[in-house]
Structure 1
Amino acid sequence: MRVLQLIDSLETGGAERVAVNLANALSHEIEKSFLCTTRKEGLLKESLLNEVGYLFLNKQKTIDYKAISALNAYVKANNINIIHAHSSSFFVATLIKFLNKNVNIVWHDHYGNSEFLENRKYGVLKFFAKYFSHIFSVNKALETWARENLKAKKVTYLPNFATIDRQSGITNLSGVSGKRIICLANLRPQKDQMTLLDAFKIVVEHYPDWTLHLVGKDFQDAYSEDVKHKIDELDLKESVYLLGSKPDVFHILEQCDIGVLSSKSEGLPIALLEYGLANLTVIATRVGECESVIKHDKNGMVVNALDTNALAHAIMFYIKNEENRKKHAKKYNKHIQENFSEKFQLKTMIEIYNQII
């Protein structure tokens, strides 16, 4: 079995992390694992194992004949059976199938706005879905959506999994050790760092020695400017640190105590699983699969999206109650290890790969 993960970039997003994690994990389980990024490379390239075959297409436009030809030649030369296409890369994968009937396509749906599926445009996707052998959905809402809207019969809800990537630690966080909060999320409106900043302003008024660290890609756009303006407006420059994308995520997480996600919409965020592997106490909003992963009041806390006060009170609860904080962190770590492990997800995936072939 020879499988290629296809992704648009290797920047530090959730779908990109999944593609790299799968390529690495499969390299120990199947004959040969490959990864191709179509448009951009990025920090995650450093995480790719040497055993994984790698191709960068440098695709410049929607239909780039040179890039498509290069990928088709690579697929044929390496006898690749399955292209596992993530998110919008299904388009390129299907074009390869038109050129090579022996290739099977698996599509992995990471759609992050799963709270607003009624607004999803899917005309092109519906046409191409006829050529997919199987669909993996990162949450149950997306699984149902694929069955109803794409008329797909072979759909599987496949929770994400996280791995510990022990890159050399180069990032040393500011702030007091034992009093750090992290939000691992790219600066996008969907991630709603604005509500988190409002909540953290309340926290700082009671606990001024705690700090918040925002780690994720800064797209240098209007939302990014809004976040920076909010930090200035709330006078949080001494308490909030914008770090951008970082290669040594696990090293950063190990320096923190509470992991927060304040999203308005999610699928199943990799960050939430990484918090667990790093033994953090977790707080997230009630979107996507966050609540089902955390199991409110058992392993962490879940609040409604856009609820500034509830988010602030959840953070302050854990600051005040160190014993609860440590107990929930330990339970959550065990929960993630047992239920969102690489081994369990790979078993399901490889079984489906075998059925397809």
Structure 2
Amino acid sequence: MRIVQIIDSLEVGGAERMALNYANALSEKIEFSGLIASRKEGLLLSQIDEKVSYLFLKKKKIIDFKAVFLLRRYLKNNKVSVIHAHSSSFFIAVLVKLTLPKIKIIWHDHYGISQDLKSRKNVALKFGSLFFKGSIAVNTALKDWAESYLYCKNVIYFPNFVDEITNLNKEVSLNGEEGKRIVCVANLRPQKNHELLIKAANIIRNEYPDWTFHLFGKDFLDDHSKKLKELVRDLELDKNIFFYGAVNNVASVLEQCNIAVLPSISEGLPLAILEYGLYKLPVVATNVGEISTIIISEKEGLIIESNNINQFSQSIQKLIRNKKSRIEMGLELNKIVNLNYSQESIVRDYISWLNYLINFIPSKNI
């Protein structure tokens, strides 16, 4: 089997990480594994396995014929049979399929606002789904939506998976006191609700001034980012909250932290929670998306209602006070992640599903 992953960029984000994860994992399992960034490169470029074939299309507009024909040539030269298109990259995959009808497209839906799927309309995607051989959803709500909205009927749910990156040696230097660090890995978008985290930090600072918050994720330098930083300044939390932006070595970050949080208003199945578990961190997260299917009980983490400042701050303080509980919780979440969200089991099922789609010949009506 010869498969390429296509993603718009290699900046640090959930969909981007999953495109990278699939490309790297498949390089050990199939004849040919490729990764294509269509519009922009980014920090994840350094994490591509040496066995993965990589191409940057330098796409500059919605319909870029130069990029389409560069992709076409790459697919033909490498005898690719399956395009695995992530998120909005389905569009260029469909355009190239019009010139290479035999190629199969698998679309991967990473949509993160699962609470409002009824209003999700995308005419281009609906039309494009006529050309999909199959569709992957990262949570059950997206699977239900795809089955009711798209023309493609071969829809399957595969959870995200994580794997340790071992080829990055550069350590990220963190502020704050060792043993008293709280981390949040989430791009600075409104649905990630960093405002709740900042307000909780203001409460926690009064009783635990030595504990610090470390925020990692892409900073879009927009009005939302400006508002968050102004709030930190207004509350005089400059020595308690630190913004680092995106980094390509989240492992180094998590190894230096003691509690992990995710205060989102909306999520799908967040990679951040899986990464927290991989590095045995105790977690406080909001009850959105598929988070409660990962953190099932208080043994694995603390789940709070979305936007509840009292619950959020009290849960963090509960973990601050009890080091033994933090360690036990991190170990339990690690077990869940290794058991249910491992690369090995999900990639095995993915290859099996693709083999079925490609080789299945429907019986003729009698």
TM-score normalised by the shorter chain: which range applies? over 0.9
Distance in 1 separating the partners of 2:284 and 2:221: 27
Distance in 1 separating the partners of 2:123 and 2:65: 23
Aligned to 2:164: 164
Distance in 2 separating the partners of 1:225 and 1:120: 28
* Offset at residue 122 of structure 1 (A): 1.6
Distance in 2 separating the partners of 1:268 and 1:98: 32
Distance in 1 separating the partners of 2:196 and 2:116: 19
User: The residue matched to 1:39 in structure 2 has which SS?
Assistant: strand
Gaps in structure 1 of 5+ consecutive residues: none
Gaps in structure 2 of 5+ consecutive residues: 359-366
* Offset at residue 151 of structure 1 (A): 4.3
Q: Superposed, which structure 2 residues align to 1:315-334 within 5 Å?
A: 315-334=316-335
User: The residue matched to 2:108 in structure 1 has which SS?
Assistant: strand
Distance in 1 separating the partners of 2:136 and 2:331: 30
Distance in 1 separating the partners of 2:338 and 2:290: 17
Give the structure-2-normalised TM-score.
0.96
* Offset at residue 150 of structure 1 (A): 1.4
Q: Superposed, which structure 2 residues align to 1:204-219 within 5 Å?
A: 204-219=205-220
What do residues 137-186 of structure 1 show as CA deviations (whole Å, max 9, x unaligned)? Answer: 00110000001111432111100001111311331111111110000011
**Counterpart contact for 2:180–2:257, Cα < 8 Å:** yes
Q: Superposed, which structure 2 residues align to 1:40-51 within 5 Å?
A: 40-51=40-51
Q: Superposed, which structure 2 residues align to 1:28-43 within 5 Å?
A: 28-43=28-43
* Offset at residue 213 of structure 1 (A): 0.2
Aligned to 2:27: 27
* Offset at residue 298 of structure 1 (A): 2.2
Distance in 2 separating the partners of 1:115 and 1:151: 22
User: The residue matched to 1:311 in structure 2 has which SS?
Assistant: helix
Distance in 2 separating the partners of 1:233 and 1:291: 34
User: The residue matched to 2:205 in structure 1 has which SS?
Assistant: helix
What do residues 37-59 of structure 1 show as CA deviations (whole Å, max 9, x unaligned)? Answer: 00000000000011100000010
What do residues 120-151 of structure 1 show as CA deviations (whole Å, max 9, x unaligned)? Answer: 22211111111111111001100000011114
Aligned to 1:132: 132
Distance in 2 separating the partners of 1:7 and 1:243: 24
What do residues 179-225 of structure 1 show as CA deviations (whole Å, max 9, x unaligned)? Answer: 10000011111111111111111111111100000001111111110
**Greater shift after overlay, 143-152 or 184-193?**
143-152
Q: Which stretches of structure 1, 4 residues or longer, exceed 6 Å deviation after superposition?
A: none
Aligned to 1:338: 339
1:278 aligns with 2:279: yes
Give the structure-1-normalised TM-score.
0.98
Distance in 2 separating the partners of 1:96 and 1:163: 31
Distance in 1 separating the partners of 2:187 and 2:319: 24
**Counterpart contact for 2:133–2:152, Cα < 8 Å:** no
Aligned to 1:199: 200
Letter matched to residue 280 of structure 2: N
Aligned to 1:103: 103
Distance in 2 separating the partners of 1:119 and 1:258: 35
**Counterpart contact for 1:216–1:245, Cα < 8 Å:** yes
What do residues 276-306 of structure 1 show as CA deviations (whole Å, max 9, x unaligned)? Answer: 1111111111111111111131200111111
1:112 aligns with 2:120: no
How large is the RMSD of aligned CA atoms in angstroms? 0.9
User: The residue matched to 2:51 in structure 1 has which SS?
Assistant: coil
Distance in 2 separating the partners of 1:94 and 1:228: 41
Aligned to 1:249: 250
Q: Superposed, which structure 2 residues align to 1:171-320 within 5 Å?
A: 171-320=172-321
Letter matched to residue 337 of structure 2: I
What do residues 61-93 of structure 1 show as CA deviations (whole Å, max 9, x unaligned)? Answer: 000010011001100111000000000001111
Distance in 1 separating the partners of 2:184 and 2:51: 32
Pairs aligned (count)? 357
**Greater shift after overlay, 149-158 or 247-256?**
149-158
**Counterpart contact for 1:135–1:154, Cα < 8 Å:** yes
**Counterpart contact for 2:278–2:334, Cα < 8 Å:** yes
Aligned to 1:3: 3
**Greater shift after overlay, 167-176 or 68-77?**
167-176
